[in-house]
Amino acid sequence: MHALIHLSQSTPGIFLTWGVFGIQLGNLIVIVSMFVVFGLALVVPFPRGAREGRESRESREDMK
């Protein structure tokens, strides 16, 4: 555990550079993840709640 603590304090991180642009890998992963989660939130269907499911079942039964 103390070795892990020591490692967490001494590792400088991995830096990626393209010309004048540079970013730490951890920061890049977080930013890319935010874009991915934002995109998924727009397209992934939302689970239907118990109340909504009950109401839609009742409305279907009323129509019969």
Partner 1 sequence: MTDSQLPQPTLEPEPEDVDHSWSGRLRRWVLKVLPPEKLLPTSQPSYVATWIYMFGMGAIASLVFVIGSGAVLSLNGPMWWHLSPLGHFFNSLHLWSVEFFFFFMVIHLWAKFWMAAWRGNRALTWITGVVSFAVSIVAGFTGYLLQTNFDSQWIAYQAKDALNASGIGAWFNVANFGQMFMWHILLLPIAVLVIVALHVLLVRGHGVVPPLDAAESDSQLRETTPTEATSREA
Chain residues in the site for partner 1 (CB under 8 A): 1, 5, 9, 30, 33-34, 37-38, 40-42, 44, 46, 48-49, 52
Q: Which residues pair with 23 in a beta bridge?
A: 16
* Nearer Cβ to partner 1 (2/64): 2
Q: Which is nearer to partner 1, 48 or 60 (CB)?
A: 48
Residue corresponding to tokens 């103390």: 2
Cα separation, 28 vs 42, in Å, equals 22
Q: Quote the radius of gyration of the chain (alpha carbons, Å).
A: 24
> Minimal distance in Å, beta carbon 21 to partner 1?
19
Closer by beta carbon to partner 1, 13 or else 19: 13
Coil vs helix vs strand at 27: helix
